[in-house]
């Protein structure tokens, strides 16, 4: 299967590292003009250079803006007025004692993980509909379905993204635009390495620490290892392509079999 996204513009939020940067690289390799997003100019510039270096002669630019704020979202939309592929990857996570999470923290998680996506969907979906083609992909998580006791606030936001995706898919019905969420499983990123160390300690070598984390905190995984960011990106690139034209309103899993369900 040869995926060709030439002539399409893709915006990947929160793409200066980890899964977001892997998705930006995958889309660039498929021929899309890719816009990398982050909050800091230097980090965005470094990520643009990294994607270009990996994806060859790709058209890669940056859009700086904190999408958890109305002003930041407006700045990104002003820099990139129209996109064909919107990947809402931006997200924060962390463990917390459930009853100790205060109102401000609940709001912060919702602003960053959910409202940032809604803002950009509102900005870009009308243009996609009018042009008769578009892809909106919201990065959810296994935590949307299997809510971790130590990450209730995070799980809540990812469950919300499933609802957001389904609802906007209905709004885009019959227009040639698809809207889906991607349920990513436990993935190997720098942030997750820090999270693993937070839970299992610094004493073990990384391979042993990863194994301990999976056994103790993510035993449902059928892979029994962390997923690599490129494995998430592969599914996103497919869903962004014309080959996925009949997939919309879905919650598509690349979770290593983590969610114990026979349904997607």
Distance CA 69, CA 29 (A): 31
Q: How many CB atoms lie within 10 A of CB 2?
A: 6
Indicate the SS3 state at residue 180. Answer: strand
Catalytic residue list contains 154: yes
Tell me which of 154, 217, 238, 258 is the catalytic residue: 154
Torsion, CA 242, CA 245, CA 248, CA 251, rounded to 10: -60
Question: 213-222: long-range contacts (C-beta < 8 A, 24 or more apart)?
Answer: 214/186, 217/148, 218/186, 218/258, 220/146, 220/257, 220/258, 220/259, 220/260, 221/185, 221/186, 221/255, 221/256, 221/257, 221/258, 222/256, 222/257, 222/258
As annotated, the active-site residues are 154
């Amino acid at each position: 299967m040869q995926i060709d996204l030439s002539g399409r513009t893709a915006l990947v939020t929160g793409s200066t590292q980890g899964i977001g940067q892997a998705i930006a690289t995958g889309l660039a390799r498929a021929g899309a003009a890719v816009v990398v997003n982050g909050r800091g100019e230097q980090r965005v510039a470094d990520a643009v250079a990294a994607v270009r270096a990996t994806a060859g002669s790709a058209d890669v630019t940056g859009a700086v803006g904190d999408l958890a704020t109305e002003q930041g979202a407006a700045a990104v939309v002003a820099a990139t007025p129209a996109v064909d592929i919107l990947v809402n990857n931006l997200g924060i996570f962390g463990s917390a004692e459930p009853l100790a999470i205060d109102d401000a923290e609940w709001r912060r998680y919702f602003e960053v993980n959910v409202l940032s996506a809604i803002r950009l969907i509102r900005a870009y979906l009308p243009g996609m509909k009018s042009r008769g083609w578009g892809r909106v992909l919201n990065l959810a998580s296994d935590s949307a379905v299997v809510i971790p006791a130590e990450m209730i606030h995070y799980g809540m936001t990812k469950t919300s993204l499933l609802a957001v995706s389904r609802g906007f898919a209905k709004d885009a019905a019959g227009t040639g635009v698809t809207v889906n969420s991607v349920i990513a499983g436990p993935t190997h990123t720098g942030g997750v390495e820090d999270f693993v160390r937070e839970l299992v300690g610094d004493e073990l070598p990384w391979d042993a620490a990863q194994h301990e984390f999976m056994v103790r905190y993510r035993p449902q995984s059928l892979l029994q290892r962390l997923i690599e960011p490129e494995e998430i990106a592969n599914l996103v690139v497919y869903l962004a392509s014309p080959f996925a034209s009949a997939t919309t309103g879905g919650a598509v899993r690349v979770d290593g079999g983590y969610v114990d369900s026979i349904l997607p």
